[in-house]
Amino acid sequence: MVASKSVRDIISSHNGTMIDKKVLIIDDDPYLRQLATMLFQKSGAEVYTAADAVEGLIQFYTCNPSLIILDVIMPETSGFEICRRIRQVSDTPIIMLTALNGEEDMLRGLKEGANDFLAKPFSPEVLLARAKAIIRRREQRGGHSRNYDFDNGYLKIDIENRQVLVKQKRLRLSPLEFRLLVFLTRHAGKVLTPEFILDNVWGGERLRNIVYVHVYVSHLRNKIEANPREPRYIQTIYGIGYLFDREGHGDQ
């Protein structure tokens, strides 16, 4: 919940202060999502919302936010886990919200990579002030996210602009294909089991199966490999899983 101070008064004094910023709100409380949406929209930000982990991660990869507001207690997958997955590929600022108000939870959130913590109930004015302060500090340090990028001449992955190019030709990837490719490149050189990939890319999605991993790996190979039947990047390590080769030195 949010402290009861007049939101209208707060919004009127902050109009236009977050122009050109994108804010992603991941919270299963529809009232909080609505209130935070109004707060940031009136401050000039473009706002995206999600009610669970799966939707939140999809929105993250799709909208490339400047800031994420993330609740700790979420259905099926906790905010801590969502934070950890985002930190695998991005340092986008994250403010975590909790009704638990415990030091242990705050320490865990910071350990997983959160930039700030707010205990519920909180003042909308404090949330907005914290958000502005985090973005301002980020811009003073150089502005852009240190999102993982991959470029070896043949294959290029630009996370910030959500672009994948093969020989300078842009590919069309679904949000899930893009998420999977980023995850594989982020762990280049390591053998990943299908179970590990499923847990981290599909997350808390109810209808999920290891078969999905094999199917989507096949989709990616068809799009990024010169010869999908003899993959040079996404290699199968039989009996274990998959390995992404940064240099594309797979067997011919």
What distance in Å separates the CA atoms of residue 114 and residue 231, rounded to the nearest whole number?
37
| Domain extent for 163 | 149-244
pLDDT value at residue 123: 85
Per-residue tens of pLDDT for the chain, all 252 residues: 555 445 555 454 445 568 889 999 999 999 999 999 999 998 899 999 999 988 898 888 888 899 999 999 888 888 998 998 888 778 889 999 987 656 777 778 888 889 888 888 888 888 999 999 888 887 776 655 545 577 888 888 887 677 899 988 999 988 889 889 988 988 888 999 998 888 878 765 545 688 989 999 999 999 999 999 999 999 999 999 999 998 775 443
Domain boundary among 140, 172, 201: 140
Whether residues 132 and 158 share a domain: the answer is no
User: 126 and 186, same structural domain?
Assistant: no
Domain count, the chain: 2
Q: Is the pTM of this model over 0.85?
A: no
Domain's final residue, options 140, 172, 202: 140
Q: Do 114 and 192 fall within a single domain?
A: no
Give the pLDDT of residue 249: 54
Question: Looking at residue 192, what is its pLDDT?
Answer: 93
CB 79 within 8 A of CB 26: yes
Same-domain pairing of 17 and 136? yes
Total residues found in the chain within this entry: 252
| Same-domain status, 115 and 172 | no
With contact defined as beta carbons under 8 Å apart, do 31 and 73 qualify?
no
Judgement on whether residues 171 and 131 belong to the same structural domain of the protein? no
Nearest to 243 by CA among 183, 200, 201: 183
How far is C-alpha 103 from the geometric centre of its chain's CA atoms? 25
pLDDT at 88: 78
Q: Cα-flanking dihedrals φ and ψ of residue 197, to 5°? A: -65, -45
Q: What is the DSSP string of the chain?
A: -B--S-HHHHHHTSTTTTTT-EEEEE-S-HHHHHHHHHHHHHTT-EEEEESSHHHHHHHHHHH--SEEEEESS-SSS-HHHHHHHHHTT----EEEEESS--HHHHHHHHHHT-SEEEESSB-HHHHHHHHHHHHHHHHHTTSS----EEESSSEEEETTTTEEEETTEEP---HHHHHHHHHHHHTTTSEE-HHHHIIIIITT-SS--HHHHHHHHHHHHHHH-SSTTS-SSEEEETTTEEEE-TT-----
Task: Check which CATH number belongs to the domain holding 186 and give it.
Answer: 1.10.10.10
Contacts made by residues 217-221, CB under 8 angstroms, sequence distance 24+: 217/180, 217/242, 219/177, 220/173, 220/177, 220/180, 220/181, 220/184
Six-digit token string for 223? 């799009």
